[in-house]
Each structure stands twice: as C-alpha cells, then as structure tokens.
Chain A
Amino acid sequence: MTIDLLEILLAGLVAVPGLACAVLALPAWFGHRFRESTIVSIIGSAFAVTTLSAAVLVVVLLVRGETEIGAHLGEWFAFGHDRFALVLLGDRLSLPFALFSAALVGVIAAFSRRYMHQEVGFYRFYLLLCLFGLGVEIVVLAGSLDLIFLGWELVGLTSALLVAFFHERPKPVEHGLRAFLTYRVCDVGLLGAAAWLHHEVGTAQMIEGDALAPWDGLPVPSDALATAVVGLLLLWATMGKSAQVPLSGWLPRAMEGPTPSSAIFYGAISIHLGPYLLLRAAPILDASPLTAWMVVAVGAATALHANFVGRVQTDIKSVLSYASMTQVGLIFVEIGLGLRYIALAHIVGHAALRSLEILRSPNLLHDHQHLEKAIGSTLPRTGLHLEWLVPKRLQPWLYRHALERGAFDALLRDGVVGNWTRVLRGVDRIDRAWTRRLGGPSAEPPVAPPAPKEVTR
C-alpha cells in the first residue's frame, strides 16, 4: 500500500458522503424519487465505505507506528495572498472521530429505515442526515480552520432543519429557528477566529506541535492578547454548538426533531464538535491561561446547571438532553485542565452511551417495567446525595432555579433578544417616518397582516 492510496482513502472519507448527497439531491430536484430501500442503501453503503476506509487508515497508522497522514488536495481557490488549501488531516484525534461518526451515521440510517418508514419527510430526513455526515467528516478531518468552518456551517444548517422536521407544527419550527439563531450568533466566533489567525499568523492551517503535543493544532499568535482573543472567539463558537450556559436553552427544545436525528446530533456527534474544536485549539489554550480557565469555568457552570435542571425534567428527551449537557460541560473542564486524552475517551464513551439512550427513549416505560421486574421492586431514587449535600434552606431556591432552567432562557429572550428587537423596531419606525415625510403618508404601507388571496400567476 503506498502513501498515495492512503491519501485517496483519506479524501474518500469526505468524497463518498459528498457523492451520496449529490446522488440523492439531484434526482429529487428533477422530480425523481428513489424508493425507501434505495435511499437507505445509498446512505448505508456510503457510510459503510467511509467507516471501512477510516478503519483501514487507523490500522495502517497503528501498524506503521505513524501518528498522522495528510492529504493535500491542492488549492480550492487562491487570490492574492489568500489561499484556501484543501488539506485533510488524519491523526489520532481526527481518525477516531471520523470512524466513529461514519459508523454512527450508518447505524442511524439503518435504524431509521423502520422508524421513519412511510413518514412524509423520509427523503428529506435521509438527505439531511447525509449532509450532516458530510459536514461532520469535513469538520473532523479539516486541516485548517477555514475548512472546519465550511463543515461547521453544514452541520448547523442541517441541525436546524432537522429540529424543524415536523414542519407543520409551529413549535418544532420555533425551536429550529432558535437553534439556528444560537448557531449563527456563535459562528461569528469561528469565522472571526479564522480571520484573526490569518491576520496575526498568516495562516489558519493546523501545524505540528512540540514533541509533547498529542496531535497537530491551530497556530498560536505571538502576541498574548491576540492569542486570548482567538481563544475566546473559539470558545464562543463552541458554546453555541455544544449548548453551554448561558446559550444552552436550545438543546432540550431541539429534541422536537425525529428521535434518530436527536440521538446522533445531540447525544453523539454535533454536540461534541465543540470539544473537538477545543482539542484542536489545544496549543492556544496552553498559551493562554485566561482562555483555558474560561473553558473550565464555562464547562463547570454548564455541568452544574444541567445537572440540577435535568433532575426536575418530566420528559425523557429533556432529561437526556440535560444529561448530555452535563457530560459535555465536564468534557470542557477536562480540556481546560489539559486532560486531553481523558477528554477524547470521555467524548467517545459518552457519545456511544447517550445516542443509545436517546434511541431507546421511546421504550422508556417498557424498559422501566422490565428493570423493576428484574429487581423485584420499584427502582431506587437517585440524587439523594444532593439532599444531603445541599443545605435545607437552599433546596427550595435550587428547586425553583432548576424548574426555571436557571432563568437563562428568560434572560436571553427578554433581556437580550427582546431589548434588541425593541431598539431595532424603533429604528425601523424612524426610517418609515422619514420615508413618509419625504413621499407623503402613502409612501409607507401599513404592516399587512397575512391575507391569503386568490391564486393568480
């Protein structure tokens, strides 16, 4: 096996899901719809090939004792000093992620064949799942922050569309928009960090670290302030994708989507892309203690918040979403403290367990009864240690805090978004008034309510 073949295998981890997306999307646009079994076969085969390729790469690297392989696919585009190099990086961080993600997408595709059978949006579900798989493979294998951003955007878009999958009901749509709004606001951090790295270092490509560095990471600006700025921007980007406080309110609402997509997005892969990015940014965290401690603080706050709030939830998907949030918060703490291998193991273990739990969540009552039968009594209560640890006087306050989800949602909705909306609507009113002044009263039509008219084309 030559190194060229390995590069082809590495490129195939992105190309095969991309091809599957094209095979599904193009005929659909032109009016041809595949049968359900064909759709599942296309995606299943694509991600089986991807999984196999990733597994081969892992084995070959292990056998050879190498730590990484890069595929330089040339420049996507270049102009002046700006070059967008297509570099994929397979190393001991990205390959386990790529392998695990591809396998999970394949498993979810197979699982959903029955779960989504005869569902109106069957085709849409699988196309979005495939696009998501493509986005994830791009993010984890990207050799530069620019390329990560590309995949990151795809993941965000597909996530919001899948949250709103049951689009004829208003709530899923509202929650999809909320998730997208959070993603979009936080994506500013990722693009900002990439731009700032270009400004400070001249590149946003991963570079080889020192001998102690476990894997390649983002370059570090020479200036401490710039390093902190880039680090904090990256932290901001991860806070949205991984639902860290105070931006965590979208996650339990995102469970409105189909259960298989909830499992893979919010139990397994999408929610762990934040920690993945922070692992890639390890050199920046090492160089900027401020950023590292901020990561610890955000993670710890999230873990505590989600732990308490999750205990008062009354539906299984909300409980699981807060459980996910708790674990991801802990992973943030581990990364901030420099425990990177532990964080990597934690991510893979948590993703596997949580996605299984979410997939089984529709069987909650059955499982509950099964367990009770097995042990011959009702299940024991959990969380008694909290009653022992938390002072009595604090318990009512904590319970209320948990019921209100820490008031973060209200704070964001009314305090931030609400105030900004009021200010912007005020500016809009001034603009309308100015136009009326120039053109007379009828220059500005009143805000029209929705009014269906006859169909005229």
Chain B
Amino acid sequence: MLLTMKVAFRNILRQKKRSFLLAGAIAFGMLVITLMNALTGGVVGNIRENFSHALGGHIFIMGREWTDAGQMIMKIRPDERLEQLLEEHGAQIEGFTRRSQAMPTMIFGSRQTMQMLYGVDFAEETKLLESLIVTEGSFSEIGTEEASIILPQPVGERLGVQVGETMIIRLETLTGQQNVGEVKVVAFIKDQEELGLSAAYTSRSYLNTLLGMDPHEYQLLNMFLTDLDMVDEFARVFREGLRAEDEEEEVVEAEPAVSVTVAGMPMDPMTEREELTPWEGTRYQIMHINQIMEAVELVVGVLNRVGQVIFLILLVVTMVGITNTFRMIMIERTKEIGTMRAFGMHQKQVKNIFLWEAVFLGLLGCIAGLFLALVISFIVGGIELNTDPSMQFFLDNGKITFIFSLTKVVFNTAIVVFISLLAAYWPARAAAKMSPIKALSSHT
C-alpha cells in the first residue's frame, strides 16, 4: 500500500508541467466554489448581525390590546408571566431592552423632518450610551433633564438646531390624537443611517407621556441571546408562555399583523385593514431574527446551488481531461507497466498506482484552491469599500466578510477526490489488465 502510494506520488512529480495543469484546473474549481460558499456565508452572517443591531435584538416581543373605543393599540403593561419567563431564561439572555418608539415630526423654526425616536430607560440601558459616538454635546444632562433628546448629527444639521437649543416634536398618541412636546438637544451622535440605525433617543417616561402611556409601560421588548442557535426554541417558549387561555395558536407564516420594522418603518406595508375580533387584556406577538432571515437564506441557498452546479461543470470538464491524461499516461508507461508486472506486481497494485495518482492530483488541486481562496479572501476582506449605503447591510464595517465552513470544504474535497478517482478508474483498470508480455513487446 505504502509502496503503491510512493510510486504514485513519484509519478506525479515525473511530469510536473502536466500535473500542474491538471491540479490547476481542479484548484480553479475548488477556488470558485470555496470563495462562493465563504462569501455567501459571510453575507448571511453580516445581514443577520446588521439586522440584529438595526432591530435591536434577536427576539422581538410586542403587545397588542384593545381600547374601550374598539381601537387596537401596541403596548406592554407590566406582566408577571413575562417577568417570570425573563427570570427563568436569564442565563441564555445576553441583554434585553424595553423601549417605546414613535416616528414624530421634529420641528425647529420653519424646518421639519421625520425621525425614528426611541424612548429609552437610560439607567437600564447603559450599554446603549457606551455604543453611541458623540460628535457634539454630552450625555451628562440625560439623567437630570427628562425632556432631553439625543439626535443623529445629520438630523440636527437638517433642522439647523444646535446642542442646548429646544426643539418641538409632533406625534400622535397611541390612539391617534395629536400631541406636541418640547425637548432640549443634549448631544449629537454619529449617524448609522446606512444600517437602518438612524434613531434619536429620549427618556422612555417622557415619550410615554407624549404617547399617552404610563411611565412603566413600553412597546417593545427586544432580547439578545447568548447563542443564536437557540432563537427558534426561545421564541417558541415565549410564545407558549405568553399565550392567553382563549388565544389560538399563532400561525407565524400566516400572521397578517406581523410587520417587521426597520427604524420604525414597516417593511411590508399593510394594504388591507386587518379584521380582528377584540379580546381582553394583552396579546403578544413574538418574532425572531430567523424569520426575517428566511428570505435572505433562501436567496443564499439558490446562490450556493448555482455555485455548486458551476463547480460540478468545472469538475466534469476536468474529469474528461483527467481521463484523457491517464489514457496517455497508460500508453506512455506501457513498457514500465509490463516490467512491473514481470517483476511480480499484481494487477490490483498497478490499478492502485493510477488511482492514488488521481487522489493525489485531486488533493493537491484542492489544497492549492483552498490556499488561493484564503489568500484572495484575506486581500479582498481587508479592503474597506465606500459603497452605496444600502450595500453596507451586506458588509461588516464596510468590508466583505468570508466565512469558511469546514463541512463544505470537506464535502467539496470529497467530491473532487471521488470525481478524480472516477475519471482515472477506466484507464487504471485498462492498465492493470494489460498482459506483461504484450506490454514488454510494445513499441511505445
């Protein structure tokens, strides 16, 4: 066995140019499929990460209830069931936020603009303040001045307002009544509009007052989990734990009221009015990041399949080349085969030499392809791209990310080796079956 492997490896080195071209063809195929898999893997990871940040979590809980006037509003009241679930699963929750939100018109003088506004409990969300990059002003007044606001820098510039000045916010209460508040601008922050993260922040209790809610109420509970693999299970546990007794099981796919929002704007605008029968108390909607990622993963799956087909076509072409090459090798080595057979080498050993050559060629091609893929991904991944803001959602801080999957690499290598073996099988069998006498008397 070791001998046949040694002979096979030596044979590859005997015809370096030919081996280089064959392995090069395999390497190219491996390079394409590896880069494609790594790129799609990276894109999925980046979209998931960017979505999580844009939406503020991996699991999103919203509460709905009916007013006495028959109007459905979105709010969450203090609820023992929810608190208990949070406590029970605290170990798996990296962090959670309870926020109110609105899309008010911000007015300063004759200028106005609409801007996503989050009502935040600043004492609870210390990580938020740490993550915001202040360009002007400071957060020192946040704790003392309830009617204060942190504005994205471009919004401040659009309005012409300065830090320390007071501006007006016009919004609707949960039931649709007009309301107006005055807020003091305490700081400008770096905008992350390209990631859908352009948001202003004020204290939750103040925003609640304007929205017509009690200070301890909120609209969204977003959770970051320690392990993303638990998202589906976690959502199921919360969905079941928060379901009212008379509430039917939520069919997630067919739920018309579920509307994912990025920066407060619905991604799937509801064109028809939803007809619902009013209920008592609060009913919860639980969404998770995987639901949002389903569409993305579908597209990525198609891309990966297209890549796999291209890879297989390349391999088939290479296989034809390998078969032809091995047929030529067989003819070139007819006398050599005859000599080996005359010295007592078995048919199987001759066949194995050819097959091992094919395996080594395939493996060398795969290693070269993987190495090239790593080099290219390292170079390309280091370049910071100033692309269209919408493209930033696919990138990690402006850079393309490549995520290599060991499973896919092993799978693709196995395919390459298998196809190389298949391509070399018939020439190898023909070589093994060759009569030693005929082979030695051959003129080739």
Indicate whether A and B interact. no
Give the interface of B toward A (CB within 8 A).
none
